[in-house]
Every structure is written in structure tokens, then in C-alpha cells.
Structure 1
Amino acid sequence: MFNARRRFLTGSLRSVRNDLRPPWALVGDAFEDRCNRCNDCSVACPNGILVVGSGGFPKIDFSRGECSFCGDCAEACEAGALRMDSISAWQLGATIGAPCLAALGVECRVCGDACSVAAIRFRPRPGSVAQPHLDAERCNGCGACYAPCPVNAIGMALKAEVAR
């Protein structure tokens, strides 16, 4: 389609779909076709987590903070690429990777402390430090746990990919 041709001609063969889209973004080509890359959503975001990503399209940068699901980005989108009326905010969820300090035997609960919906809880482990347990159903994908992690063990991915 048009977007694949544009990526080829500009030398950007990596799909822009690898970037985490703003909440309420239309899916795939529909988002790319509607978004005019005006940056209004980024300006409207009170948490400053929307930045310019691949191809000039907006993406989420959780290292800058968390999403409060305020809807300001969708309200600012005149092109209709972000539509609160048509789809849920998103299907993102946190993942906990191998560099996790608790998994390596070092006491750390910063991700659990940052999680306002208690999706990350720590289970006691005899003879060791408590281990993190992520409740994927409870996780709303806000990203509050991402930035505070001292070893970048927290990732954000589509829940369909997390389930694999």
C-alpha cells in the first residue's frame, strides 16, 4: 500500500507499527493513513509522553512518564487518527524481563510501588527476596512502572504479544 511504498522510497524499511502508538489510535494502516503528523496530540499531552517516532508519527515514550488516559491527545486530533468513540484506549501491558533485580536476588519493589492498580505484586520466596508477579488482566498499560525501574527490566508490549 501507500505506506509501504513511502517507507521503501524514504529508505525506512522498518514498519512504523513497531512504535507504541498513542491511546485510542486506529489500527495499522488506518492510523498511518489518517494521521497527518501535525503533532497536536503531542502538544496536548499533559504528561509529555507523546513524541515524534518513525516517519514523523506520534509514539509513546514511557521513559518520560505514564499515561493518565485523560483523552487530551484524542480530543486534539482533528485528523481522526485517535478516536475515543471507536476503540478502547489500547491493549498494552507491562512485561518484566531478565534484568529484574528481584529475580537476581536483590531487594527491589519500585515497579510495584509505582503501580496504582496493583498489577505488580511481590510474592514471598523462602530463603530469597520476594519475586514480582504481574497480573496481566489488571495491568492497564499506563507505563507507571516503566521509568522508575533502575535496570530497565520493565517493557511495554501489546497484550497479544505478551501472552505468547
Structure 2
Amino acid sequence: MVDEGRRGIFASLSSALKGEKREKRAPIRPPYNSDPDLFHRLCPDCIDKQCAKVCEEEIITIGSDGTPELSFSSRGCTFCDDCMKGCEAGVLSDAGVNFIKAEVDIDVLKCMAWHHTICSSCKDPCLEDAIAFLGLFRPEIDPKRCTGCGWCIPVCPSGAINITSI
């Protein structure tokens, strides 16, 4: 049986060698949403977009379809629940969903640590301790611990961390 971490490494290498480009990814949605149908039905008609206005980290943006999405270009989510409190439609109302429905991975071709440069930029802001290093040079993300908060993304000096909606 092949280890999942190793499979991801080889898939990343294979895609890069073949010159494959990734298709446009689905937007990452705010936490506290347990009903995607309700989300897509009510969010576009929301006039105030309070979830984006009250976000203390300013990571909630409104997409072209009128729905909120997360941008981790400069910050991450603190799970403060202000977006949930500000959501007048009740779409962001499930306090039990205090994680972001996303998968985070490290592109080993871009990661400085995987190329034998001492770097732990991604690990330092991770409050869940979801990033572990195998030795000094091989960071891996534990999907069971990762909340998808995104704090590791803007601090990565080589842009090696990817987040994908699930």
C-alpha cells in the first residue's frame, strides 16, 4: 500500500513534469456553513454582505456570483465567528462547523524546505500543530488536524502551499 503523503508528492512531481495546468478551482467558503444549497440560494440575494464587512481579518470577499469566498493572500481565519453573527440570512449559522471545508497541501517542487533550505514559515503560525517536519526538510500537513485556516499560505516565501475547496 502506498503512503498518501508519498502519493501526493509523486502526483505533484508528475503534474509539473507533464506541464499540466490546474483547472480553475472552486472558491473557498467561510466556516460555519453546513448547507451548501442554502448558501447558494440565499447569499447572492443578500444586500448588505455583512459577513464580509465584519470579518476582522478582511479575508471574506464577495465573488462574481454574489457569494462570499475566502482570500488567504495576506491573512488567515481566526474562527472569531463574527461572520456567523453578521450573517442575517442565517446561512453561516452552524457553530459546529468551525473549520474551513478545504484541503491544504504543500507543493514539494516549490517548497524551500523540500529543497534543503531550512524554513519553517508554514509551521510557525499553525495553532493546530498540523504541520510536522520529517527531519529538517520535509514538511507534511496532517489533514486530521488542519482546520483550513489559511495562516500558512501568506507566510510561505515560495508560494508552495495550496488550498482546495472540498
Regarding TM over 0.5, the answer is yes
Q: TM-score range by the shorter chain?
A: 0.7 to 0.9
TM-score, normalising length: structure 1? 0.76
In the alignment, structure 2 segments of 5+ residues that lack a partner are 1-24
Distance 1:112 1:130 in 2: 12
Three-state SS of the structure 1 residue aligned to 2:65 is helix
CA RMSD of aligned residues (A): 2.1
Using the aligned pairs only, state the percent identity: 35
Number of residues of Structure 1 aligned to a counterpart in Structure 2: 139
Distance 1:64 1:40 in 2: 20
- Asked if 1:88 is matched to 2:97, the reply is yes
Distance 2:149 2:50 in 1: 21
Greater relative contact order (Cα 8 A, min sep 6): structure 1 or 2? 2
Instruction: Name the counterpart of 1:11.
Output: none
Q: Offset at 1:26? A: 4.2
Aligned amino acid, residue 94 of structure 2 = M
Three-state SS of the structure 1 residue aligned to 2:154 is coil
Q: Quick one: which of 28, 41, 44 aligns to 2:51?
A: 41
Instruction: Name the counterpart of 1:66.
Output: 76
TM-score, normalising length: structure 2? 0.75
Richer in strand (by share): 1
Q: Offset at 1:44? A: 0.8
Distance 1:26 1:39 in 2: 18
In the alignment, structure 1 segments of 5+ residues that lack a partner are 1-16
